[in-house]
Amino acid sequence: MEFLLEGLVTAFRLLLAGDAETYSAIAVTVRSSSYAMAVSLLLGIPLGFGLGHFDFRGKRPLRLVVDTLLALPTVFIGLLVYAFLTQRGPLGELGLLFSVPAMAAGQAILALPVVVALTATAVESLDAKLRVTLISLGAGRRQLFFSTLWEARHGILVAGVTAYGRVMTEVGIAMMVGGNIKWHTRTITTAIALETNKGLFGMGVALGVVLLTIAFGVNLAVNFLRRRS
């Protein structure tokens, strides 16, 4: 257990000293996950609303597909994104492989089913009379959409936090399409794996502490918003 204590001491020393390599991995992680969450929320919330609010032919099979995608392996997503972005792939000319946008694209694919499924569940759990009441009050489509989302805001917050947690902690996509390039595409999780394999527990523990701190901060913010609302 001594190496764990030494790792904690080294971790706080690196963080307090502003170690450039450590903070580089943190910055890359925040950038890629922020891009991914922006895309997944912009697409996932309207799609989840449609899936949960409307009844249409094929809804059950579609919901089954979305729920199945919740367990989509990150390495498989990384493989698909890699196949599209490699020089022999259809998007190879863009030169995005081994870059932050490439990682963000894969992470957005990972987060999207989470946002869609949990948003749909939140909308479905609302009072069935809500839609009738809003329409009877003269609400248009836009007002109906935003009013329903507001009523389901707690569930949507949970969807966002859950998706963010999965994006922040994934390794496969970042490793395959990011390449774990130092100062460029190395994230917190890939750095932890690399430094631990090298026997450098201090940096691994430091990055783990940062990861836990970010997760705690996000959940703290969500709880604060719930109380305010």
Using pLDDT thresholds of 50, 70 and 90, give the confidence band for residue 36. Answer: very high
| Residue 24 in this model has a pLDDT that exceeds 70 | yes
Angle at 110 between CA 178 and CA 213, to 5 degrees: 75
- Better pLDDT: 2 or 165: 165
3-class secondary-structure state, position 59: helix
Query: Using CA atoms, how far apart are residues 82 and 88, in angstroms rounded to an integer?
Result: 10
**Worst-scoring range by mean pLDDT, 48-57, 152-161, 218-227?**
218-227
Query: Using CA atoms, how far apart are residues 69 and 109, in angstroms rounded to an integer?
Result: 10
| Residue 140 in this model has a pLDDT that exceeds 60 | yes
The residue type at 115: V
pTM (predicted TM-score): 0.86
3-class secondary-structure state, position 161: helix
Using pLDDT thresholds of 50, 70 and 90, give the confidence band for residue 152. Answer: confident
% of the chain beyond a pLDDT of 70: 90
| Residue 44 in this model has a pLDDT that exceeds 90 | yes
Residue-wise pLDDT tens digits, 88-139: 888 888 888 899 999 999 999 999 999 999 999 998 888 777 766 776 767 6
Among candidates 143, 123, 141, 113, which has minimal Cα distance to 41?
Answer: 113
Radius of gyration of the chain (CA): 20
Supply the pLDDT for residue 100: 93
| Residue 62 in this model has a pLDDT that exceeds 60 | yes
Q: Token pair of 179, please?
A: 């390449």
Supply the pLDDT for residue 2: 63
3-class secondary-structure state, position 203: helix
| Residue 34 in this model has a pLDDT that exceeds 80 | yes
State the maximum Cα–Cα separation within the chain, in Å, rounded to a whole number.
68
Residue-wise pLDDT tens digits, 193-219: 887 777 767 777 777 888 888 778 777
Supply the pLDDT for residue 203: 72
Task: Decide: residue 130, CB within 10 A, 0-12 exposed, 13-18 middle, 19+ buried.
Answer: middle
Angle at 169 between CA 166 and CA 174, to 5 degrees: 105
Supply the pLDDT for residue 54: 85
pLDDT mean across residues, the chain? 84
Domains of the chain, start order: 2-228 (1.10.3720.10)
Q: In Å, how far are 93, 102, 170, 194 from 97, measured between CA atoms?
A: 10, 6, 18, 20
